[in-house]
Structure 1
Amino acid sequence: MAKAQGKKGRSLWWVVHSWIGLKLSIFLTFILATGTLAVFAHEFDWLVTPAMRVAPRAEPVASWGAWADAAARAAPDARLQTLYAPIDPWFTVEAWIDHGKGAPERIYVDPWTAQVTGRHDWANVHRFLRQVHRHLMLPTKIGIPLVCSLALLLAVSLVSGVVTYKKWWRGFFRMPRGGDGRRLTGDLHRLLGLWSLWFVALIALTGIWYLVETLGGNAAVPKLPEIAAGPILTGQRLDRLVAIARRTDPALDIREIRFMKDNGVVLLGQSSAWLVRDRANALVIDPATGKVITSLDGRNLDVHQRISEMADPLHFGTFGGIWTKALWFLFGAALTAMAVTGTMIYAMRLAKASRAQGSTMGLAWRGMGIWAYIGLALILLALALTPGAIGGAS
């Protein structure tokens, strides 16, 4: 009796696992694929935008003030909004310039010579992948919950896959069998799933956290003090503020400087706290007096804030630079392949059981029913909205 009940329980889990993997396969594959590509979104922009490329050099780079001065001189009628340090030694500095209306413009500056290498409008590969993966180009109040609901289903799929795979712990080094397409696909699906267990759990948990934040559970963000607006600081005046910041927090590796209209100059980056976004470590300086008004330290976050700040580095694997991003890309590709092979397994099983005629994808499409049209419609809608969405505000 107990064995029969256990078998029935596994069968129920199998139905759940198959339903998620088949009915939502088009939408799920699209979200997983765009998320995987988004890991290297900046690198894709680097490939297609020559102005972003520089050859690394041994000598010290120019100062933040020199970078800001170059960007400001390139657009004298606009306002310098944000300045970003190079992501890697082969990247330029990136400045965001506000023209008063519409989206910002990007200006690229050579880190060593402080010479402008080129300009680009707001729309780029990073904006596309970020927005289509995060909220399908829809309003965020609609798009984020829609996309993040897949994290719940991903978690259920993880549990159901483990439950239905008998003695799964023995399968880590079980090589896929050949000779039969269905058997080979099934073995590959299970092997990828086992080695990706940790990654699936991580993506599901961070995705669920984004859903919680969207539904009102977001952590409190410190309110910046109001400071009288003044002229944008460049050159030696900005370097003086950078020196003050480094004396205040010698461990701070400044990655970004924001020139706020009503909140002074904000310097953000990585410091002593591990696994947090740059914004968790910040200094707000009054540009008129050089006084540090606010100091944020990632080590002082409460549990709620800490979870919030960890989510992005863990979800996209950015915390360890190029090497962790490469690892996340690899496992993201494996997760995307699992969504595809899961659909193929269903179609092959259907073809064998009913001797149905047609291609594997044709059988899978019929098995998806109305969900195939829903998934395809969401993807087409996102692509149709792209021209207007990625040209808008951040």
Structure 2
Amino acid sequence: MLSKINAWLHLWLGLAAGIPVIILGITGCVLVFEHDIKELTTDYIHIESRTTEEQLPPSAIYKSVKSVLPDKDIASSWYNGLDKSVKVSLDHSDSLVYVNPYTAEVLAIVDHEDFFHFMDEGHRHLWMPVKIGRQVVGWSTFIFFILLITGLILWWPKKWNKRSREQSFTIKWKAKFKRINYDLHNVLGFYSLTIALVMCLTGLIMSFPWIRSSVVWLTGGYPNRPKIEKTNEEEQIDRPLNDALRVADQIWYKVRYEYAKYNKEAVIVHYPEREDKTVYACTDMEGGTWRDLNFDRYTLELTGRKQGPIDEANTTEWLMRSNYALHTGFIGGMTTKIIYFIASLVCATLPITGFYIWWGKKRKAIKKPKRTQLATT
């Protein structure tokens, strides 16, 4: 009875979530190599590397972009290393600006709404309205997680002999198409199971706060760090734009020389607006993880809850901060990217091969009564 229930769940849940899973798998394949493809196909991201001291501060980048786009509000500068251009984000704009960090030359103004952005929207909310699409993606991912468990139960051999091992671990390429299709679903599904489960769980953490809080509770919770008090508002004075640029420069230097531990020349700095009391910066961007920092605008000291280097994090903090890297395959560089690409591609094919298995059985069941009727006649 349990076996029949498991098979029934695997069938109908698979039919229900098939199309979203195909879309998520295909878009996931594309997005794994987004940054690598952009570097190979553009001439404004990769630049000739120079020394750390030759990198220009955020104020120089700001003034350069402002001279080209005087009507645009500049939000932040993304330094991506000594051999990469600085990516500048603009408020209320679909454009991104790429600037040479050594000469402040504007290399390109690129529309953010490109092919990869289209794929990203499909992966996040299936090109539907965001609120609806995210729910569909979240619950489809949840269903796919159940499908992986029920699929493993269906795959598990009743007897571990030579014949069952061959059927479970190898594809018979010389067999008929129906058998090859079955093996593609059964065998490849098993080989991609571990990575598929990781992608599902990390995707669920992104989709549902209750799953995220459950994982935090199960892993012991965040370390108890005292919250750093903000500066008294009475001591804060409104300052002009030039001073805001000076603050951005000081934070940039402070992050690189006092806080950064990994990939020190890769830093994100936000330009503070007049009403901002804190300034956001990001460092230690390596392997798909990063370190968020918030500075008091007037004292230039860290404020809020201090986030340390990733190697000092406990289990919960490491999992939460590595969630994106574990979901995308960035965690281990090119090797894990390739593994995730293959696993994501297999996941995209599972609803297709599974549907063909079900359709073949259905057609066989329809034809069988007719043959029995003719034999009786």
What's the counterpart of residue 205 of structure 1? 201
Does residue 244 (structure 1) correspond to residue 254 (structure 2)? The answer is yes
Match among 146, 149, 155 for residue 136 of structure 2: 146
SS at 1:281's partner residue? strand
Residues 335, 233 of structure 1: alpha-carbon distance in 2 compared, 3 angstrom cutoff: farther
Counterparts of 1:230 and 1:277 in 2: how far apart (Å)? Answer: 34
Match among 39, 54, 63 for residue 46 of structure 2: 54
What's the counterpart of residue 314 of structure 1? 326
Q: What's the Cα RMSD here?
A: 3.7
Counterparts of 2:210 and 2:112 in 1: how far apart (Å)? Answer: 25
What's the counterpart of residue 93 of structure 2? 103
What's the counterpart of residue 32 of structure 1? 25
Number of residues of Structure 1 aligned to a counterpart in Structure 2: 339
Q: CA deviation at 1:106?
A: 1.0
Residues 126, 263 of structure 1: alpha-carbon distance in 2 compared, 3 angstrom cutoff: farther
Q: CA deviation at 1:202?
A: 0.8
Segment drifting more, 200-209 vs 22-31: 22-31
SS at 1:284's partner residue? strand
Residues 79, 224 of structure 1: alpha-carbon distance in 2 compared, 3 angstrom cutoff: farther
Report 1:1-394 matches (<5 A): 8-46=1-39, 50=42, 52-57=44-49, 62-65=55-58, 66-86=60-80, 89=83, 91-98=84-91, 102-167=92-157, 170=165, 173-213=169-209, 217=213, 228=238, 230-231=240-241, 238-251=248-261, 253=264, 254-261=266-273, 262-270=276-284, 277-278=289-290, 280-286=291-297, 290-293=300-303, 295-297=306-308, 306-355=318-367
Segment drifting more, 109-118 vs 186-195: 109-118
The amino acid across from 2:271 in the alignment is F
Contact 1:318 1:325 in 2 (8 A): yes
The amino acid across from 2:307 in the alignment is L
Residues 224, 86 of structure 1: alpha-carbon distance in 2 compared, 3 angstrom cutoff: farther
Residues 242, 59 of structure 1: alpha-carbon distance in 2 compared, 3 angstrom cutoff: closer
Residues 95, 163 of structure 1: alpha-carbon distance in 2 compared, 3 angstrom cutoff: same
The amino acid across from 2:72 in the alignment is A
The amino acid across from 1:96 in the alignment is S
Counterparts of 2:229 and 2:73 in 1: how far apart (Å)? Answer: 20
Q: CA deviation at 1:147?
A: 0.8
Counterparts of 2:358 and 2:299 in 1: how far apart (Å)? Answer: 68
Residues 338, 56 of structure 1: alpha-carbon distance in 2 compared, 3 angstrom cutoff: farther
Q: CA deviation at 1:270?
A: 1.5
Q: Which of these two proteins has the greater Rg computed from alpha carbons?
A: 2
Contact 1:283 1:296 in 2 (8 A): no
Contact 1:241 1:285 in 2 (8 A): no
Counterparts of 2:287 and 2:283 in 1: how far apart (Å)? Answer: 12
Normalising by structure 1, we get a TM-score of 0.72
Q: CA deviation at 1:184?
A: 0.6
SS at 2:80's partner residue? coil
Counterparts of 1:320 and 1:290 in 2: how far apart (Å)? Answer: 34
What's the counterpart of residue 390 of structure 1? none
Segment drifting more, 298-307 vs 145-154: 298-307
Contact 2:49 2:82 in 1 (8 A): no
Residues 58, 138 of structure 1: alpha-carbon distance in 2 compared, 3 angstrom cutoff: same
Question: Unaligned 5+ residue runs, structure 1?
Answer: 1-7, 357-394
Residues 88, 290 of structure 1: alpha-carbon distance in 2 compared, 3 angstrom cutoff: closer
Segment drifting more, 314-323 vs 209-218: 209-218
Counterparts of 2:212 and 2:173 in 1: how far apart (Å)? Answer: 48
Normalising by structure 2, we get a TM-score of 0.74
The amino acid across from 2:282 in the alignment is L
Counterparts of 1:341 and 1:233 in 2: how far apart (Å)? Answer: 61
Deviations 1:226-269 (A, max 9, x none): 87564267988754432222343251534311223204432202
Deviations 1:18-45 (A, max 9, x none): 2222343223211222223222334455
Segment drifting more, 56-65 vs 77-86: 56-65
The amino acid across from 1:92 in the alignment is S
